[in-house]
Amino acid sequence: MAERSTGATTGAAGRAPAADRPDMVRNVVLVGHSGAGKTTLVENLLTATGTVQRTGRVEDGTTVSDFDEVEVRQQRSVNLAVAPVMHNGIKINFLDTPGYADYVGDLRAGLRAADAALFVISAAEGVDGLTRMLWEECGLVGMPRAVVITKIDHPRADFDEVLTRCQDAFGGGVAPLYLPVDGVGLLGLLSQRFLDYGDGSRTERDPDPGQLGLIEQYRGDLIEGIIQESEDESLMDRYLSGEEIDTKVLIDDLEKAVARGSFHPVLAAAPGVGMEEILEIVTQGFPSPLEHPMPEIMTVDGKPVANLTADPSGPLVAEVVKTTSDPYVGRISLVRVFSGTLLPDMVVHVSGHGLADRGHEDHDVDERVGSLSSPLGKAQRPLAKCVAGDICAIAKLTRAETGDTLSDKDTPMLVRAWEMPDPLLPVAIRARSKADEDKLSQALARLVAEDPTLRLENNAETRQLVLWCMGEAHADVLLDRLSKRHGVEVEKVVLRVPLRETFSGKCQVTGRNVKQTGGHGQYAICHLEIEPLPSGGGLEFVDKIVGGVVPRQFIPSVEKGVRAQMERGVAAGYPVVDIRVTLYDGKAHSVDSSDMAFQIAGQLALKEAAAKVPTLLLEPVDDVSILVSDEYVGAIMSDLSSRRGRVLGTEPVGTGRTLVKAEVPELEITRYAIDLRSMSHGTGMFHRSFLRYEPLPSHLAEKVVSAST
């Protein structure tokens, strides 16, 4: 911990940090809302360790984390980025994640690759709902966590207020180790020393007399919190009896509690302030890969694999946690090695990954690994190997995608994929030109390989290409990359929801196809009775021909013609469903009747029915489940009513959250991913699935029919 005597920080600009043993590695993900200061914190840590010489810059002058062309233009992180540093002989892989809800896929990837988390909270803004949810998610898997309150030098900074909010939001075990003083110094609560960063370097001295009361105010709660987590049951009695507990004992117990994930220290940071303290928490308190549980690993046929550890000499098991495409280098795979050692030029088995519904094909192939590197910004610094517990980048793995497993080719294994949220915002696109259309398929395949939260749909019914995205910002980034990175120009088009048509009543019609030409003519007459069926009835074709008025070989032709016209629609161009068609009479000619003639007659009969009986347009209705904080339930239910939704009920989920169940027309929720985020301040989640078709209200049906004519 930073209360110890620390020694010099090591690191060298331009040289890749390397680890030979898993116990000398720490993988730490930075979590927090957009603007909390995660990227700035990483950049200051890189400077503090000597990894870079100028804050946030690598050799080519680009920023360490936000170097993607979209990030440069938008001035915010949209990708998972790794920044490796060395401190006291320990390699730390800092995983900087996006703080915006649209990029939750990269955030989940960072959680998968890490063994501990730093929650970054702005002293000027506090805790948001998304950060609170992620804290709970980390708690469910027992991930060790610490809190860093940044921007303590901000004019609106209020450390005490934000600390209270963190303790309220995150629950027990959250306590400060340091208190900021005027944004340029820290009071160590255990050591009772003042750490002065005022002149740009860290010096340690006794606190001023006026600061002793502040230390005493917080120190007692901190010590009690540490003792409560101690394995020494006598420690509390000794403390309550007035015995002064040795600081080294407290620090040892603190480190063990942090590693277990039961105590969560709070630190303070600003540019040039608090970096040494954060590095010591990470190296001394956070667990190594040897101490963190392995993900579930199985054989490719689903049998569990037990007793695997982060052993460099064990069987190779690694996972691709992030895939990017560089226009010059090609595909780059960011890989976390869980077991074994990854070497350049070795042949590995690529397995994965069960996301075929999103356009990601399953893999079961062997592939040769190219060179290994340690990424830092755009730079890829060569590595000789990557041992269990470490993270590296591999260039030109042509088949592996995000979420795939790399293992020994003779004993292939599969890491169970981490849970990914469903993309629920559909965006219909089309190429602007024929040249763009020719390149679009390959460009989209690359985007899909990079992003497991993207789902690609070629809707055969609406004939639209649809990108299912996490939100509007996610969609904008994808379109930007298509244009700037892959040179493909596309435009958004109005999304078509697949409607259906049916008949409102019963009628009898005649399909008459009688034409005389120079050779064989066409002669087919069929009399049909058409009536609606209950929802889900499909087509029921009934043959009531007697006496051979329609020859046996032509009865299937009538049905074939009816089905063809049902696919094309009879009113607005949508498929017809749920009807019974009865063929009860007709006429044929010994020479001019044919299969095609009766197909056309069947089609004409269905069209005539649409002229005699009003048709109904049917819209898809979805089963929708919405999980929100209790405070937003009223607004959500009111909004659902305005969308023609039917609320079926609510039920509590855990503490402070409610699940709202409803049935909502699909036409009303095409942009619900955006609207729900706005109503719930980024904390709401929903799931939707097709339920059934129902009649579209007449005033809306008239607009659809008018638009189609």
| Average pLDDT rounded to a whole number, residues 429-440 | 93
Of 585, 613, 641, which one is at a domain's C-terminal end? 613
304: DSSP letter: B
Q: How confident is the model at residue 295 (pLDDT cuts 50, 70, 90)?
A: very high
- Domain of 528, in residue numbers: 500-613
| Average pLDDT rounded to a whole number, residues 233-257 | 89
Of 588, 613, 638, which one is at a domain's C-terminal end? 613
Residue with tokens 């009879």: 570
User: Measuring CA to CA, which residue among 117, 154, 107 is closest to residue 139?
Assistant: 117
At residue 340, the pLDDT reads 95
**255 shares a domain with 301:** no
Instruction: Please give the Cα distance from 80 to 77 (Å, whole number).
Output: 8
Instruction: Please give the Cα distance from 113 to 292 (Å, whole number).
Output: 11
Tokens (6 digits) for 109 = 């990837």
Element containing residue 120 per DSSP (H, E)? strand 116-122
Q: CATH code at 247? A: 3.40.50.300
3-state SS, residue 52? coil
Element containing residue 628 per DSSP (H, E)? strand 615-629
**470 shares a domain with 365:** no
**269 shares a domain with 232:** yes
Q: What is the pTM of this model?
A: 0.84
Beta-sheet strands, E only, within 419-484? 425-431, 455-459, 464-469
pLDDT in tens, 395-430: 888 888 888 999 999 999 999 888 778 899 999 999
At residue 578, the pLDDT reads 94
**144 shares a domain with 120:** yes
CB-based contacts of 478, cutoff 8 Å, min separation 6:
447, 451, 454, 467, 469
> Does residue 391 have a pLDDT over 90?
yes
Q: CATH code at 638? A: 3.30.70.240
290 belongs to a structural domain: no
146 belongs to a structural domain: yes
User: Measuring CA to CA, which residue among 664, 609, 617 is closest to residue 500?
Assistant: 617
> Does residue 665 have a pLDDT over 50?
yes
Tokens (6 digits) for 56 = 């946030």
- Output the CA–CA distances (angstroms, integers) from residue 398 to 78, 375, 449, in the order listed: 23, 19, 10
> Does residue 3 have a pLDDT over 60?
no
**232 shares a domain with 198:** yes
Of 415, 441, 476, which one is at a domain's C-terminal end? 415
Ramachandran assignment for 509, one of left (phi > 0), alpha (psi -120 to 50 degrees), beta (any other): beta
Domains contained in the chain, number: 5
Q: CATH code at 606? A: 3.30.230.10
**558 shares a domain with 473:** no
Q: Are 375 and 336 in contact (CB under 8 A)?
A: no
At residue 575, the pLDDT reads 94
- Burial category of 323 from C-beta neighbours within 10 Å (exposed 0-12, middle 13-18, buried 19 and up): buried
Q: How confident is the model at residue 76 (pLDDT cuts 50, 70, 90)?
A: low
pLDDT in tens, 327-382: 667 788 999 999 999 999 999 999 886 666 655 667 788 999 988 998 887 777 89
Q: Are 88 and 9 in contact (CB under 8 A)?
A: yes
User: Measuring CA to CA, which residue among 536, 538, 511 is closest to residue 611?
Assistant: 511
Q: How confident is the model at residue 146 (pLDDT cuts 50, 70, 90)?
A: very high
| Average pLDDT rounded to a whole number, residues 24-40 | 92
Instruction: Please give the Cα distance from 652 to 634 (Å, whole number).
Output: 14
> Does residue 90 have a pLDDT over 50?
yes
**71 vs 327, more confident:** 327
pLDDT in tens, 35-68: 889 999 999 999 998 888 765 444 444 455 545 5
**27 shares a domain with 140:** yes
Instruction: Please give the Cα distance from 481 to 643 (Å, whole number).
Output: 33
Instruction: Please give the Cα distance from 14 to 379 (Å, whole number).
Output: 9
**600 shares a domain with 627:** no
Q: Which of 211-215, 298-302, 419-423, 455-459 shows the lowest mean pLDDT across its residues?
A: 419-423
